């Protein structure tokens, strides 16, 4: 089974009046890059990357640099190919665009390999610890009305109650765009709306310096928040450590980190209680297994970050399936020693419409696919509808 063809597909969905904000930016569209690998015996593997910044550089790296290196190579050797691509691009691509490109290719190769063996990716990764994964709702973004605190609070309260009504046992809200006092009020309103039986997480998207993050974190502790995500910029290892040392609320981070080397630094500096590798950005399945081993050696729970299309969600379910309880207990507890899946609730047709069968929430959890490879099917009509650019690499 050899690689015959690689194609890239840049997808965009304008959001219009559904635009929303994190602490860093306005989201006026949902976009991603899908990669299709076709083997010489006709199998198709899908991967995803290009989620964080512009998708075009990631597509170009695949089309003009990395893709041609893979044509004619065996498709059932994703780990070996990962190492070769990383070694090739080490001098200029240790983070960002090239690692996202390698991630997308790696996921597609694992998908194709699983299909060739009629086995799901989680089986190839060593075996699933669970066939369902508890989910938390990511929402609580800022709307265009974020400067009107009363209106924004009313929207947030209604949104939080909707998540709980949909069956979620945990939810995550955004902070960092407003002054600490106003964001603390947002968190307090969510807690009041959902009660004490629902787990509450917050995400600053690295909006703060360490001093401000500590001030915000003390307000979060009062609300029983179970993790404080990306309190400071990813480069500030000392800041992460200061925040973690000053607070009781667990510190999460890592969505903006790449490869085992970046996560080694995050762990050896004692930055986090929970690491959040994004399978579609940090290196794909081949690198995820190495990061998972590193994290377990530090006693740190791994909870992958998820952002993108249904392909990204599918990849995350397989990764989450193989994460053991950290540390082991007979009955693992979500967010204490068992992972949960990020179930983004912001508008995204690429998540909701691209797959022929999605990931419905049942009793607060989603099922891990059991079909071969990623265990999902792309709706080709939807793919064509949202594709704004594509390219193919072959002999």
Which is it for the CA torsion 365, 368, 369, 373, positive or negative?
Answer: positive
Helix (H, G, I), strand (E, B) or coil at 121: helix
Cis peptide before 327 (omega within 30 of 0): yes
Look-up: residue for tokens 């099917």?
A: 377
Active site residue 305: yes
Q: Tell me the C-alpha distance between 339 and 279, whole Å.
A: 15
Q: Cβ(8)–Cβ(24) under 8 Å?
A: no
| Dihedral angle, C-alpha 324, 329, 330, 336, nearest 10 ° | -80
Annotated active-site residue in 9, 122, 305, 318: 305
Look-up: residue for tokens 């938390």?
A: 136
Angle between helices 210-222 and 180-194 (to 10 degrees): 30
Q: Tell me the C-alpha distance between 105 and 49, whole Å.
A: 9
Angle between helices 210-222 and 237-246 (to 10 degrees): 30
- The set of catalytic residues is 305
């Amino acid at each position: 089974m050899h690689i015959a063809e690689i194609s890239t597909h840049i997808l965009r969905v304008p959001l219009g009046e559904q635009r929303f904000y994190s602490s860093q930016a306005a989201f006026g569209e949902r976009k991603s890059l899908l990669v299709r690998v076709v083997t010489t015996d006709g199998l198709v593997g899908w991967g995803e990357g290009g989620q964080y910044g512009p998708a075009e550089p990631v597509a170009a790296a695949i089309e003009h640099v990395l893709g041609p290196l893979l044509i004619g190579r065996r498709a059932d050797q994703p780990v070996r190919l990962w190492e070769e691509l990383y070694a090739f691009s080490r001098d200029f691509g240790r983070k960002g665009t090239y690692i996202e490109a390698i991630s997308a290719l790696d996921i597609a190769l694992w998908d194709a390999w699983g299909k060739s063996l009629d086995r799901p990716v989680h089986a190839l990764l060593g075996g699933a610890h669970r066939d369902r994964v508890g989910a938390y709702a990511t929402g609580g973004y800022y709307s265009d009305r974020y400067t009107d605190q009363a209106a924004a609070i009313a929207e947030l309260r209604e949104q939080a109650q909707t998540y709980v009504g949909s069956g979620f046992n945990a939810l995550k809200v955004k902070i960092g765009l407003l002054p600490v006092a106003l964001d603390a009020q947002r968190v307090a309103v969510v807690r009041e709306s959902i009660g004490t039986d629902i787990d509450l997480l917050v995400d600053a998207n690295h909006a703060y310096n360490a001093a401000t993050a500590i001030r915000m974190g003390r307000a979060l502790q009062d609300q029983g928040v179970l993790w404080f995500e990306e309190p400071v910029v990813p480069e500030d290892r000392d800041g992460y450590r200061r925040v973690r040392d000053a607070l009781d609320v667990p510190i999460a981070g890592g969505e903006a980190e790449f490869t085992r080397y970046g996560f080694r630094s995050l762990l050896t500096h004692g930055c986090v209680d929970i690491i959040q590798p994004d399978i579609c950005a940090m290196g794909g399945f081949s690198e995820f297994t190495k990061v998972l081993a590193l994290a377990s050696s530090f006693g740190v729970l791994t909870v992958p970050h998820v952002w993108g299309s249904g392909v990204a969600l599918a990849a995350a379910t397989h990764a989450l399936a193989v994460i053991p309880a950290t540390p082991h207990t007979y009955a693992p507890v979500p967010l204490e020693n068992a992972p949960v899946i990020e179930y983004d609730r912001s508008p995204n047709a690429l998540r909701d419409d691209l797959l022929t069968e999605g990931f419905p929430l049942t009793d607060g959890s989603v099922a891990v696919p059991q079909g071969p490879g990623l265990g999902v099917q792309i709706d080709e009509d939807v793919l064509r509808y949202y594709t704004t650019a594509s390219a193919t690499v072959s002999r």
